């Protein structure tokens, strides 16, 4: 027992002496170095300070104690030149222990920064810091910073070397500071810190405080976007693929951007989302394989270029790209590879309406028709209007299949009447024939329709109504033909009034007109009866996503060709999503591929590039093949408001557009007539106004006008 006591006392004394000596020496050296004369400080240190003022000074290499006037000097540097000042603070952090003075100086300067410069200033602090805790403590109180830094430094340099490491880490964790959002500067610093710590949800909260500042909306949206992409955090699995496909990406901000490199990467990730969605819904093995390879290529490119990303979001983006890539690689075997051994069947439809699974991108209009024809108590008559080849006919012929079995649709193309019908009886005869095929009820005799057209047609509709379980839509395509027949005195001017009376007669029957104009733009005497009861629905351009879908999955279950993202984007830029032109470009690309590979016996990748698209539109034959569309738009501009064609001709040489004053000067039109003509062209999707300039919407149409 005595021996044990003696041994314990000896060991205890030894440890105590050792600790005392170690602590005393460390503290003495620190204090001594801090007060040494400048000429005795460390000479030849690798410190690379950019001296702003005319002074030469040296620093001790190792001392945790604040040096005299260092905070003041750092503050002056940072105020005079923020970027150079940050360089010097990084040098100090790299080669000295002056963490506390650096934090003090940075926080003092940030507190004085004007609000419109805060986010830009803090982004510089977070650009390439030697120690990210500087960014962290820029959003915490100074007292907390001092306490946390002291404890952290105490354990980092092993002054408590005799304690287990886990003790030190646990003790230090008690002094960790949390971010604060009570000032604009702290909130901005907190946002960048949480991005670096891979906490996008907390970054959103921080950037929400500075959202109204310059670049605030961008950083808030950036954090939202990262949070959306970061939803897929599970290990690689098919479930992760489904999660990627379900991502709703916030709208990207407008230029100018603070983080342009990051937004370019986000555009790549957005394309990956589109490709994964396509992989999920496509029934074509070949198309899925190409989409998978394209998505993997985008992710690989992101990972290879990750070092160019800003440090704050770099780690989070790398994690996202790696997780997604692993998830996609897991299904690579399921999707499989493809090879092309024979000419590709051209799936693109040029000129004719598309049907079935080829019909995509009009979900918004189908939803409107569903509300008017399925959900209501009474069918509502509508008019689909838009310029030629916009897809109005495709909507009509597909509407019945999209709206369920309760609504039947009888489609009538009035152009089939020709120019010399035998009066209104022949028009009603054509309508009855289509209704008969739809509801399977024999039509009236031709003689009755020709001799007593109105009465015979009305009686037939009553029979049809009595046999209907749901409703009947009578779709009259190219309804401008009615105007032509009225002007040619082939049918009476009260024809539209007669049709209006039929609609009022029954809640189960309605009309759907489709043409270039709204009814208000037609001669009032002819179409006025329908003004109050017909709802106009504009059929405009396809969205970018729908254009991509049409190109990549045009209906052929084994369509083996694909487009690089830049090629499909270029097609959209040239067509503005105009369906006819999109189909025409796709048709010509497939035709060119078959000729190159199977007729000329030359090898090429089954993926279309921007160069392929340019080769098609630079061929003079392309505009000849598309003349039906181009002539139609040009001819439409000759109807209605005066001066439309003159405006189009003036705008054609200017892809960026012209101001209203420049248009007035070039066309010689007065303000009233010019504005009326512009409104008509805008309503028909020929021109648009962007930031005060008017320009032609469809780039290919603009080029066609230049050639005339």
Among 126-135, 353-362, 397-406, 589-598, the least confident range: 353-362
- The pLDDT, as a whole number, for residue 159 is 42
- The pLDDT, as a whole number, for residue 352 is 64
pLDDT of 355 strictly over 70: no
Mean pLDDT of all residues in 380-386: 82
Structure tokens at 255: 């230029």
Apex 649 CA angle, 647 and 655, nearest 5: 95
Longest dimension (CA), the chain: 135
Structure tokens at 657: 């557009």
- The pLDDT, as a whole number, for residue 239 is 66
- The pLDDT, as a whole number, for residue 333 is 62
CATH of domain 627-707: 1.10.10.10
Q: Decide which of 555 and 593 is more confident.
A: 593
User: What residue has token string 């990748």?
Assistant: 605
Count of Cβ atoms closer than 10 Å to residue 648 Cβ: 20
| Numbers of helices and strands, H then E, in the chain | 34, 10
Domain extents in the chain: 2-181, 195-335, 362-538, 544-625, 627-707
- The pLDDT, as a whole number, for residue 576 is 92
Q: Decide which of 452 and 33 is more confident.
A: 452
Instruction: Grade residue 166 by pLDDT with cuts at 50, 70 and 90.
Output: very low
Instruction: Grade residue 359 by pLDDT with cuts at 50, 70 and 90.
Output: low
- In this structure, are residues 538 and 386 in contact, taking their beta carbons and an 8 Å threshold? yes
Q: Could you give the CA distance from residue 101 to residue 201 in angstroms, rounded to a whole number?
A: 31
- In this structure, are residues 98 and 104 in contact, taking their beta carbons and an 8 Å threshold? no
Helix (H/G/I), strand (E/B), else coil: 512: strand
Residues 624-667: tens digit of each pLDDT:
888 888 988 898 888 778 999 999 999 999 999 999 999 999 99
Q: Could you give the CA distance from residue 298 to residue 294 in angstroms, rounded to a whole number?
A: 6
Q: Decide which of 143 and 164 is more confident.
A: 143
Q: Could you give the CA distance from residue 540 to residue 579 in angstroms, rounded to a whole number?
A: 10
pTM metric for this prediction: 0.55
- The pLDDT, as a whole number, for residue 361 is 64
362-538, what's its fold? Rossmann fold (3.40.50)
pLDDT of 40 strictly over 90: no
- The pLDDT, as a whole number, for residue 618 is 93
> H or E element: which one contains 417?
none
């Amino acid at each position: 027992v005595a021996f044990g006591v003696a041994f314990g006392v000896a060991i205890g004394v030894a440890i105590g002496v050792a600790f005392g000596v170690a602590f005393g020496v460390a503290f003495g050296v620190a204090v001594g170095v801090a007060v040494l004369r400048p000429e005795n400080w460390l000479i030849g240190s690798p410190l690379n300070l950019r001296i702003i003022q005319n002074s030469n000074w040296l620093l001790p290499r190792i001392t945790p104690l604040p040096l005299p006037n260092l905070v003041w000097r750092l503050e002056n540097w940072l105020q005079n030149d923020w970027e150079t000042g940050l360089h010097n603070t990084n040098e100090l952090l790299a080669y000295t222990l002056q963490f506390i003075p650096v934090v003090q100086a940075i926080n003092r300067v940030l507190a004085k920064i004007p609000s419109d410069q805060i986010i830009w200033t803090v982004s510089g602090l977070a650009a390439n810091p030697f120690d990210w805790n500087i960014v962290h403590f820029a959003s915490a109180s100074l007292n907390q910073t001092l306490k946390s830094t002291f404890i952290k430094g105490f354990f980092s340099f092993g002054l408590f070397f005799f304690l287990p490491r886990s003790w030190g880490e646990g003790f230090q964790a008690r002094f960790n500071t949390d971010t604060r959002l009570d000032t604009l500067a702290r909130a901005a610093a907190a946002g960048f810190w949480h991005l670096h710590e891979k906490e996008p949800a907390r970054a959103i909260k921080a950037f929400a405080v500075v959202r109204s500042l310059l670049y605030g909306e961008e950083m808030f949206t950036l954090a939202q976007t990262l949070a959306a992409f970061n939803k897929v955090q599970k290990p690689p699995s098919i479930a992760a693929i489904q999660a990627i496909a379900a991502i709703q990406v916030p709208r990207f901000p407008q230029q100018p951007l603070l983080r342009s490199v990051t937004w370019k990467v986000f555009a790549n990730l957005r394309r990956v989302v589109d490709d994964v969605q396509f992989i999920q819904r496509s029934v074509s093995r070949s198309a899925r394989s190409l989409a998978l390879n394209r998505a993997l290529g985008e992710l690989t490119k992101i990972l290879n270029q990750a070092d160019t990303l800003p440090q704050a979001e770099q780690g989070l983006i790398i994690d996202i790209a790696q997780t997604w890539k692993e998830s996609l690689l897991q299904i690579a075997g399921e999707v499989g590879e493809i090879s092309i051994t024979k000419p590709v069947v051209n799936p693109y439809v040029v000129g004719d309406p598309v049907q079935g699974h080829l019909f995509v991108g009009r979900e918004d209009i189908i939803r409107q028709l569903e509300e008017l024809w399925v959900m209501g108590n009474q069918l509502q008559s509508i008019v689909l209007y838009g310029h030629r080849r916009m897809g109005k006919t495709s909507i009509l012929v597909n509407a019945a299949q999209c709206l369920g079995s309760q609504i039947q649709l009888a489609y009538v193309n009035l152009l089939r009447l020709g120019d010399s019908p035998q009066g209104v009886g022949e028009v009603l005869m054509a309508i009855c024939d289509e209704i008969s095929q739809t509801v399977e009820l024999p039509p009236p005799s031709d003689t009755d329709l020709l001799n007593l057209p109105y009465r015979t047609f009305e009686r037939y509709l009553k029979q049809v109504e009595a046999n209907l379980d749901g409703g009947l839509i009578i779709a009259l395509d190219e309804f401008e033909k009615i105007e032509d027949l009225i002007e040619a005195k082939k049918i009476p001017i009260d024809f539209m009034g007669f049709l209006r009376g039929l609609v009022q007669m029954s809640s189960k029957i309605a009309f759907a007109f489709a043409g270039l104009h709204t009814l208000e733009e037609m001669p009032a005497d002819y179409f006025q009866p329908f003004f109050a009861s017909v709802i106009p629905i504009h059929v405009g351009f396809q969205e970018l996503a729908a254009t991509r879908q049409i190109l990549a999955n045009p209906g052929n279950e084994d369509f083996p060709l694909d487009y690089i993202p830049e090629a499909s984007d270029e097609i959209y830029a040239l067509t503005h999503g105009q369906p006819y032109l999109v189909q025409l470009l796709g048709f010509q690309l497939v035709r060119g591929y078959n000729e190159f590979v199977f007729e000329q016996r030359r090898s090429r990748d089954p993926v279309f590039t921007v160069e392929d698209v340019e080769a098609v539109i630079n061929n003079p034959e392309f505009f000849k093949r598309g003349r039906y569309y181009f002539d139609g738009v040009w001819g439409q501009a000759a109807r209605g408001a005066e001066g439309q064609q003159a405006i189009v001709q003036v705008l054609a040489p200017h892809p960026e557009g012209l101001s209203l004053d420049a248009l007035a000067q070039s066309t010689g039109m007065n303000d009233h007539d010019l504005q009326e003509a512009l409104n008509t062209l805008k309503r028909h999707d020929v021109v648009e106004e962007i930031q005060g300039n008017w320009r032609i919407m469809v780039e290919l149409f603009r080029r066609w006008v230049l050639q005339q």
